[in-house]
Amino acid sequence: MWFLGWKGASGFSASSTAEQVTQGIDGTALTAIVTGASSGLGLETTRVLASRGVHVVMAVRNVDSGKNVKETVLKEIPSAKIDVMELDLSSMASVRKFAADFNSSGLSLNILINNAGVMATPFLLSQDNIELQFATNHLGHFLLTNLLLETMKKTVRECKQEGRIVILSSEAHRFAYREGILFDKINDESGYNSYFSYGQSKLANILHAKELARRLKEEGVEITVNSLHPGSIVTNILRYHGYVNALANMVGKYFLKNVQQGAATQCYVALHPQVKGVSGEYFMDCNKADPTSLAKDSGLAKKLWEFSSSLTNPK
């Protein structure tokens, strides 16, 4: 059981659950996409948002697993509105297909939660020959967000209600490579460190949120973009490190958050009225937090945007 009950300005703490931070909020007019929705934080986020009336589109690699989750949630919440769509964030072709299918579906888009991720993988390349953690955790979400943005803008205009983009980062952004983002060595296997590369991808998540928030504000669009650290949680994200994963599962219940607590911050940032109009911030334990100086570097954020655009634009 998570033992830190200190409450911040929001009135919530590290021990608050996703259900608690969304208590009493009516989301029946909203539609959300949640990536990585078939397990861990994504599953709990899907369940809680659906329980608040939100129409949730589960964006998942394994459609069968997604459908099983949908059936489980429907047994608990028969009124839940849930769709399952295939999305592999490590494949730009898959991201483009998902976005095209969603954009042509006629559905609104009020909330986008970029939740999916991989952690500390051995050196692997994505289908597009980009280091897997950078490709999945940052680049896939960067492309997805850009491709869905017009639909979200249209929803904002029609519903006259703020749109929200929520990007999961991590305190691991503090342990990226010393330079932050290795633009010229993204695919350099010789200098690869699985944990630093994970930190690099999580730093990229914060920088992405900062730069997109700046651009949307400059454009005068009512869409907020925030990043967050969900907390240290036992999920299957450490599946590439068997011994560490086993140890985490054994002792985690005493020192780490459970999934209900872990999903709280993203549900808070996605739904809570306290976050209205707040953009370009980094959250932890349902409160604003202070990331590293690299994460606040506007020049680095712009450079990353240009780099990401060059990698995702069709040649």
260-274, pLDDT tens digit by residue? 999 999 999 999 999
Query: Residue 245's pLDDT is what?
Result: 46
Residue 1 lies in a domain: no
Q: Residue 232, Cβ neighbours under 10 Å: how many? A: 16
Residue 231 lies in a domain: yes
Rounded CA gap, 203 and 196, in Å?
Answer: 10
- What is the gyration radius of the CA atoms in the chain, in angstroms? 18
Query: Residue 202's pLDDT is what?
Result: 98
Residue 254 lies in a domain: yes
Query: Residue 253's pLDDT is what?
Result: 46
Q: Residue 310, Cβ neighbours under 10 Å: how many? A: 9
Confidence grade of residue 239 (pLDDT, cut at 50, 70, 90)? very low
Q: What is the pLDDT of residues 254-313, one digit of tens each?
A: 458 899 999 999 999 999 999 999 999 999 999 999 999 999 999 999 999 999 999 999
Residue 2 lies in a domain: no
Residue 301 lies in a domain: yes
Q: Which residues are catalytic?
A: 192
Give the number of domains in the chain: 1
Alpha helices in the chain (DSSP H): 18-21, 40-51, 63-76, 92-103, 132-133, 140-159, 194-219, 242-255, 259-262, 264-271, 298-312
Residue 6 lies in a domain: no
Query: Residue 237's pLDDT is what?
Result: 44
Residue 14 lies in a domain: no
Find tokens 């949630």 and name the residue: 73
Rounded CA gap, 245 and 194, in Å?
Answer: 15
CATH of the domain at 188: 3.40.50.720
Q: Residue 257, Cβ neighbours under 10 Å: how many? A: 26
Q: What are phi and psi of 163, to 5 degrees?
A: -90, 155
Query: Residue 4's pLDDT is what?
Result: 55
Q: What is the pLDDT of residues 3-61, one digit of tens each?
A: 456 889 999 999 999 999 999 999 999 999 999 999 999 999 999 999 999 999 999 99
Q: What is the pLDDT of residues 114-145, one digit of tens each?
A: 999 999 999 999 999 999 999 999 999 999 99
HSE-CB at 55 with a 13 A cutoff on CA atoms is: 9
Domain that holds residue 262: 20-312
Residue 11 lies in a domain: no
Q: In what order do the strands lie in the sheet with 163-168?
A: 82-86, 55-60, 31-35, 111-114, 163-168, 223-229, 282-284, 287-289
